[in-house]
Chains A and B, each alone.
Chain A
Amino acid sequence: MLAVTPIIEITAGQKSFGSMQVLHDIDLAITPGEIVTLLGPSGCGKTTLMRLIAGFEDMSGGGLRIDGRDMKGIAPEHRPVNMVFQRYALFPHLDVFENVAFGLKVKGLRGGELRERVQRMLKIVQLDNLANRYIDELSGGQCQRVALARALVNEPKVLLLDEPLAALDLKIRQLMLEEMKRIHAETKATFVYVTHDQDEAMILSDRIVLMDRGRIVQVDRPEVMYAHPRTLFAAKFLGETNLFEGRIVGEGPEGLVVHTEGGVTFTVRAEAPSRGPEVVVSIRPESFSFDPATGDGRHSVSGRVEDIVFTGSRSFYTVALQNQRRIRVQVQRSAKHRMPARGAEVALFWDHDDVAVLPIN
């Protein structure tokens, strides 16, 4: 990692619109060839950050280097990046071929080489049979492919994607995600992908950059961020979780001991957050189990099954503890174990490696 020069490097990036600061102290290095997702709720600054990289907005402070070059004062047309816009921004007065050829034509490419490169790209996105169609004759998924092809044909060092799947329905979204991975593997470009959808981010990304209110909250691989969120925001934004407010009461050989409001005691193998003993403990629904063998053998809590939602491969249980505190539990369907019924008294087990302790906000 250290030996590779980052393709994008932002240091102390700031952005304000008038008196409103929308990006604070952005430090980010992106490695060539990786898929990085800028993830966060709407208004967190992820789109602004992307527009800074594309050159549509100027930074109010800090530095941006792309491929080692300082981008200060460099117009969008001179940056080695291309963008796939949220609603595609395809040119309605041009057909598919001309849309894809646009970037090459303005660079002065003509004749056989132009035709060849456009056609090769159309083949990659599987649109070679629709080259003569106009944009209003295409479906949403096809428009998406044209937008990808139009950007990628220029062989950008970095492809920026601004919520490219937001306008598609769920089924096509799944297909396009796989398609995107395939195209990424084929083109070997660096992808910077903006989304507010955690599923898209987890499916696609090598690394997720989680943003909240203009700041980067955490940068990690999806599985690491899911298992070890570093803030309450990260734990809540990525996936479902059970949160217990509590207090660190000591540190044993197994880790921190936390007493929580539910009367449940957790031990956590983690560093104590720096901000005092008040903490929040996060544990994912799938980390609970009714089977003593899957826990660490030392932790359990008992309760009564209140509700069951069966979705096929998985079931979601709501278990109420003695003090009426409710816990969400997700279990995989299994032929080996009998699952508890509604109203049953159960014991829940977990492994302390699956528990995260977070600073209270």
Chain B
Amino acid sequence: MILLRIVVFAIMAFLLAPIVIIILFSFHATPALTFPFTGFSWRWYAQVFTDSQLGAALVESMKIAFWTALLTLVLGTGASLAWLRLKRRGRAVIEILGITPIALPGLFLGVALLVLFAQLGISLSTVTIVIAHVLLTLPILLVAMKARLTLFDPSLEEAARDLGASQRQTFARVTLPLIAPTLISCAILALAISFDEFVLTSFVAGTETTLPMYIWSMMRRTVTPLINAISTLALLFSILVLVVAAVVGRMRRAAAVADRTKS
């Protein structure tokens, strides 16, 4: 039992140590990223909020991540609903076509997209970056959704219809709530993938600069805890989103239960 605990703690430490180090050095007073830790300072955080180029790249990346996630969600939900209603052969087609893009190395995909956009006369911009990112995130969503949907009991939709729900009500009250957790986690994953995508982006970015591209160019000069500060802020943002979601969920449920005992 004690051994088991030690193993568990070791694994946790292994997983969390990099994060702890990142957070720690984001407060480092000097530009060094290695021990010994020589002093505490907010200077890198200050720099995040004052560096206008960095700010522009951050906004650009966030914009791209947002649209990528949204587009992935809409297309992925549509594909999932189709998958639920298709027979075996139709499902296989969706799976194969959907997964092909991630079977290719990003390098080739990038070149192919670049050539395609050039042929079609589409100038490289934020739009082309979003298109490229969706190409990466949609297959991941499809794989995750397939795992979830094979467990989806189609008689739940029949039960809803039987209880008087129209097709729209069935979707809104049964199908969507049941696939929503998977959709949301896929959307978060899409956000994360898009936010730090580098290889594909560098082919189709044109004159745009995303955060990973900016950090890359910055690192070619020097590496400073600025990157740690950005990471820490991103981490903080993720935790905040999760906490707010959990609290809101709990409050809504408590209100619903309390409502019943009223008479």
Q: Is the CB of A103 within 8 A of B163?
A: yes
Say yes or no: is A233 at the interface (Cβ < 8 Å to chain B): no
Binds B, one of A12-20, A83-91, A349-357: A83-91
B5 within 8 A of A: no
Q: What CA separation (Å) do A309 and B256 show in the bound complex? A: 59
Does the CB pair A85–B159 fall under 8 Å? yes
Interface residue tally on B, bucketed by range: 20 to 34
Whether B161 contacts A76 by the Cβ 8 Å rule is yes
In the bound assembly, the distance between CA atoms of A355 and B161 in angstroms comes to: 48
Of chain A, the residue at the smallest CB distance from B181 is A93
| In the complex, chain B residues whose CB is within 8 Å of the CB of A112 | 263
Interface residues of chain B: helix, strand, loop or mixed (majority):
helix
- Chain A CB within 8 A of B4 CB: no
- Confirm or deny: A232 has a beta carbon within 8 angstroms of a beta carbon on chain B: no
B47 interfacial by beta-carbon distance below 8 Å: no
Say yes or no: B178 contacts A93, CB within 8 Å: yes
Q: Which of A76, A81, A106, A132 contacts B158 (CB 8 A)?
A: A76
Specify which of B158, B169, B256 is in contact with A85 (CB 8 Å cutoff): B158
Of the candidates A54, A83, A90, A106, the one having the most CB atoms from chain B within 10 angstroms of its own CB is A106
Which residues of A67-93 have CB atoms within 8 Å of chain B's CB atoms?
75-78, 81-83, 85-87, 89-93
**Nearest-Cβ distance from residue B115 to partner chain A, whole angstroms:** 46
A115 touches B260 (CB 8 A): yes
Residue of A nearest to B153 (CB): A89
In the complex, A290 has a CB within 8 A of chain B: no
Specify which chain B residues have a CB less than 8 angstroms from the CB of A106 in the assembled complex.
160, 163-166, 169, 173
Bound CA–CA A212/B190 (angstroms): 54
Give Cα A217–Cα B162 distance, bound, in whole angstroms: 29
Taking the closest CB of chain B, its distance from the CB of A172, in whole angstroms, is 21
A310 interface residue per 8 A CB criterion? no
A76 touches B162 (CB 8 A): yes
- Could you tell me the distance in whole angstroms from the C-beta of A281 to the nearest C-beta in chain B? 44
Q: Which residue of B lies closest to A85 (CB)?
A: B155
Q: How far is the CB of B255 from chain A (nearest CB, A)?
A: 13
Whether B177 is near chain A, meaning CB under 8 Å from some CB there, is: yes
Q: Is A316 an interface residue (CB 8 A)?
A: no
Give, as a whole number of angstroms, the nearest-CB distance from A147 to chain B: 9
B161 to chain A: closest CB distance in Å?
A: 4
- Point out which of B156, B177, B260 has the most chain A C-beta atoms below 10 A from its C-beta: B260
Determine if A92 and B178 form an interchain contact, defined as CB atoms under 8 angstroms apart: yes
Q: Are A89 and B155 in contact (CB under 8 A)?
A: yes
Cβ of A194 to closest chain B Cβ, rounded Å: 14
Interface residues on A, range: 20 to 34
Q: Which positions 145-163 of chain A face chain B at CB distance < 8 Å?
A: 150-151, 154
Q: Which residue of A lies closest to B178 (CB)?
A: A93
The answer to whether A107 and B159 have CB atoms under 8 Å apart is no
A131 lies within 8 A of chain B by Cβ: yes
The answer to whether A97 and B260 have CB atoms under 8 Å apart is yes
* Chain B residue nearest in CB terms to A106: B165
Residues in B whose Cβ lies below 8 Å from that of A154: 163-164
Residues in B with CB closer than 8 Å to A98 are 256
Chain B residue numbers with a CB within 8 Å of A85 are 155, 158-159
Chain A nearest CB, measured from B262 CB (Å) = 7
Q: List A contacts of B158 (CB < 8 A).
A: 56, 76, 83, 85, 89
Please report the C-alpha to C-alpha distance between residue A112 and residue B256 in the assembled complex, in whole angstroms.
13
User: Taking the complex as formed, is A226 at the interface, i.e. its CB lies under 8 A from any CB of chain B?
Assistant: no
B257 at the interface (CB under 8 A from A): yes
Q: Answer yes or no: B81 CB below 8 A from chain A CBs.
A: no
Provide the bound-state CA to CA distance between A81 and B254, in Å. 33
Q: Which 9 A-B pairs have the closest CB atoms?
A: A103-B163, A89-B159, A89-B155, A106-B165, A76-B161, A93-B177, A77-B164, A83-B162, A106-B164
20 extra A-B contacts, CB within 8 A, seeds A56-B161, A78-B164, A103-B163:
A54-B162, A76-B161, A77-B163, A77-B164, A77-B166, A83-B159, A85-B158, A89-B156, A93-B177, A98-B256, A102-B160, A103-B164, A106-B173, A115-B259, A115-B262, A116-B263, A131-B260, A151-B162, A154-B163, A154-B164
User: What are 13 A-B pairs at a CB distance below 8 A?
Assistant: A54-B162, A55-B162, A77-B165, A78-B164, A81-B162, A87-B155, A89-B156, A91-B160, A103-B163, A106-B164, A116-B263, A132-B257, A154-B163
Q: Which residues does A use to contact B, with CB under 8 Å? A: 54-56, 75-78, 81-83, 85-87, 89-93, 97-98, 102-103, 106-107, 112, 115-116, 119, 131-132, 150-151, 154
Residues of B within 8 A of A (CB): 153, 155-156, 158-166, 169, 173-174, 177-178, 256-257, 259-260, 262-263
